[in-house]
């Protein structure tokens, strides 16, 4: 019976031994697969730095002969074996971890990271070195490409003829190219600092730094490009003008990444612009003087006509003198408005027609100014349009004041100049006089005054119409007559 139990125990021990071996074998296989997946291999170095064991995957990674169990032969597979040995020998009991990165294999563009643990004897001698070598070739190449790209872009940014700076969220300099700041020492000083630090460094006023900070914050917070003009004084006292932009760069999730700031030297263009402004100002002054001179000459002609009219006994001749005087006065009024206007080539019809109406009422009604109701929109026209338009309004009003007003007990006149749409303007004059016996007299220009009305309407490409309805109603419809004024 005892013998049977012994045999059974022996059998169990045998089965257990086989089971342990299988388990160990599976562990080794799993470890080898893990090493292969992670592109690494392990080693252990024993006995006075002479004997070593290597994992199967390490042998494959390094194409190493399993028979060469000397660790020195392993290290000699790399470009700098002495560096590895020196790192191991420098290990101590308190600092027994060895880490080396980017070890290059001889004659190959392959790289490994080494991490090892050094065990010491009680006497301080190295007993065991165990560690892993992990291949990081892919990351080295990625980093090298990134470094190459960095150098490539820096070469472009450093040589492009535009001053460029890159800022972080807080407006601190991350990069400044030599065009922006020529002094390398100052460029290095600026990195990680802002314009206020520079002002303190140079002991200068912070006004410009404050202005730049406001523009920077506006661009950063809005996520939009902001453009502004900047200026500085050179050593020789001349002014340098820069056109600058802050360009916010965003991450894919829409959050702020960094700010690209760049500026272009526009000094020459600015100087030309200032020169043109001075020249334009001089020409405007000259043009104003010309308008003033023309107005004075026309006023002189009007005065001469009045003197001649005062000595004339023939009423018909006096009438002609009066009509000519009113027409010239209408022109003189245009040049007076041009002289007083901030824009020398535009006339404000609201102001002009109001003044012309008052002038004609004074002439025909001996100082009365309340007879004609005027309703005119704020419309601007160029002076080449203002002259025929002024003469047209002058003829219409003069005709009504001369022929309609004296023939009714309570005369009423209404002059309107209204914008019907963006491109259409309507001029209308209505009186409560007897009207015209024949409307065709006006449309066909049977009298000199009607001829002028028809002529000026055609010149301005207006559509003239008239009707008798409790008086005379005359309209002229214009298209694309007004000139838009922008501030």
Model confidence pLDDT, tens digit, residues 118-168: 998 888 888 888 888 998 888 877 777 767 676 766 666 667 778 889 999
Listed ranges 45-49, 77-81, 440-444; the one with the highest mean pLDDT: 77-81
| Domain end among 265, 286, 321 | 265
- Mark whether 241 and 290 lie in a shared domain: no
The residue range of the domain holding 252 is: 160-265
Assess whether 198 and 94 both reside in one domain: no
Structurally, the chain folds into a number of domains equal to 3
- Shared-domain flag, residues 342 and 428: yes
Would you mind telling me the total number of residues written for the chain in this entry? 487
Domain termination residue (choose one: 247, 265, 283): 265
CA distance 414 to 433: 12
Summarised one tens digit per residue, pLDDT across range 298-321 is 667 767 666 666 666 766 766 666
Whether the CB-CB separation of 39 and 59 falls below 8 Å is answered with no
On whether the CB atoms of residues 218 and 240 are closer than 8 A, the answer is no
Average pLDDT over residues 209-221: 93
pLDDT value for 220 = 94
Q: What CATH number corresponds to the domain at position 192?
A: 3.30.450.20
pTM metric for this prediction:
0.42
Instruction: Please state, as a whole number, how many other Cβ atoms lie within 10 Å of the Cβ of residue 457.
Output: 23
At residue 23, the pLDDT reads: 66
Which of 112, 140, 168 is the last residue before a domain boundary?
140
Decide if 247 is inside a domain: yes
Within 8 A by CB and 6+ apart from 326, the residues are 360, 363, 394, 398
Torsion on CA atoms 184, 185, 191, 194, rounded to nearest 10? -110
CA distance 72 to 54: 13
Give yes or no: residues 122 and 102 share one domain: yes
User: How confident is the model at residue 487, as a pLDDT?
Assistant: 39
The pLDDT assigned to 117 comes to 92
Q: Is residue 80 part of a domain?
A: yes
Is it the case that residue 486 has pLDDT exceeding 50?
no
Confidence of residue 291 (pLDDT cuts 50, 70, 90): low
CB atoms inside a 10 Å sphere around CB 94 = 5
Which range, of 6-15, 19-28, 111-120, 463-472, averages the lowest pLDDT?
A: 6-15
Q: How far is residue 456's CA from residue 446's CA, in Å, rounded to a whole number? A: 15
Return the percent helix, strand and coil in the chain, to nearest 5: 50, 25, 25
Assess whether pLDDT exceeds 90 at residue 173: yes
- Residue 132, classed as helix, strand or coil, is strand
Identify the H or E element spanning 17. Answer: helix 2-38
Q: How many angstroms separate the CA atoms of 468 and 432, rounded?
A: 10
Lowest-pLDDT range of 20-34, 165-179, 268-282, 470-484:
20-34
Residue with tokens 């990081």: 136
Q: What is the mean pLDDT of residues 169-190?
A: 89
Looking at the fold, whether 187 and 292 belong to one and the same domain comes out as: no
Task: Take residue 455 and report the two structure tokens written for it.
Answer: 């002529």
Residue 13: inside a domain = no
Query: What integer best gives the mean pLDDT of the chain?
Result: 80
Q: Which of 134, 168, 156, 150 is nearest to 43 (CA)?
A: 134
- Residue 239 and residue 382 share a domain: no
Q: Looking at the DSSP assignment, which residues form a beta bridge with residue 165?
A: 176, 261
């Amino acid at each position: 019976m005892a013998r049977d139990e012994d045999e059974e125990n022996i059998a169990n021990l045998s089965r257990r031994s086989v089971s342990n071996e299988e388990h160990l074998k599976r562990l080794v296989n799993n470890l080898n697969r893990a090493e292969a997946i992670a592109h690494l291999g392990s080693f252990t170095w024993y006995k006075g730095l002479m004997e070593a064991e290597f994992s199967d995957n390490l042998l494959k990674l390094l194409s190493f002969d399993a028979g060469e169990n000397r660790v020195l032969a392993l290290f000699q597979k790399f470009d700098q074996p002495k560096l590895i040995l020196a790192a191991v020998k420098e290990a101590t009991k308190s600092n027994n971890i060895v880490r080396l990165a980017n070890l290059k294999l001889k004659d190959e563009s392959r790289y490994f990271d080494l991490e090892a643990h050094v065990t010491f004897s009680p006497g301080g001698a190295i007993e065991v070195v165990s560690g892993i070598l992990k291949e990081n070739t892919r990351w080295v190449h990625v980093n090298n490409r990134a470094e190459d790209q960095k150098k490539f872009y820096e070469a472009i940014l450093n040589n492009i003829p535009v001053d460029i700076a890159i800022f972080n969220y807080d407006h601190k300099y991350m990069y400044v190219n030599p065009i922006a700041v020529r002094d390398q020492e100052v460029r290095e000083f600026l990195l990680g600092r802002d314009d206020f630090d520079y002002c303190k460094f140079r002991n200068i006023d912070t006004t410009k730094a404050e202005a730049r900070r406001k523009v920077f914050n506006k661009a950063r917070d809005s996520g939009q490009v902001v453009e502004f003009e900047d200026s500085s004084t050179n050593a020789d006292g001349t002014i340098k003008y820069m056109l600058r932009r802050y360009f916010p760069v965003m991450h894919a999730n829409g959050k702020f990444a960094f700010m690209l700031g760049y500026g272009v030297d526009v000094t020459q263009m600015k100087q030309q612009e200032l020169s043109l402004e001075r020249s334009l100002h001089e020409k405007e002054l000259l043009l104003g003087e010309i308008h003033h001179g023309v107005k004075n000459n026309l006023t002189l002609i009007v005065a001469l006509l009045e003197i001649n009219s005062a000595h004339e006994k023939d009423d018909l001749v006096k009438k002609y003198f009066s009509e000519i005087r009113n027409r010239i006065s209408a022109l003189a009024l245009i040049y007076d408005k041009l002289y007083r206007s901030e824009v020398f080539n535009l006339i404000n019809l609201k102001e002009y027609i109001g003044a012309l109406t008052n002038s004609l009422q004074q002439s025909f009604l001996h100082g009365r100014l309340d007879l004609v109701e005027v309703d005119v929109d704020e419309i601007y026209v160029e002076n080449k349009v203002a002259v025929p338009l002024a003469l047209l309004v002058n003829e219409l009003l003069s005709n009504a004041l001369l022929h309609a007003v004296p023939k009714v007990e309570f005369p009423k006149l209404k002059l309107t100049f209204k914008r019907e749409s963006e491109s259409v303007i309507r001029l209308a004059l209505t009186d409560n006089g007897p009207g015209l016996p024949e409307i065709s007299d006006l449309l066909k220009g049977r009298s000199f005054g009607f001829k002028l009305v028809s002529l000026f309407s055609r010149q301005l490409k207006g559509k003239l119409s008239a009707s008798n309805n409790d008086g005379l109603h005359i309209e002229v419809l214009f298209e694309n007559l007004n000139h838009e004024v922008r501030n």
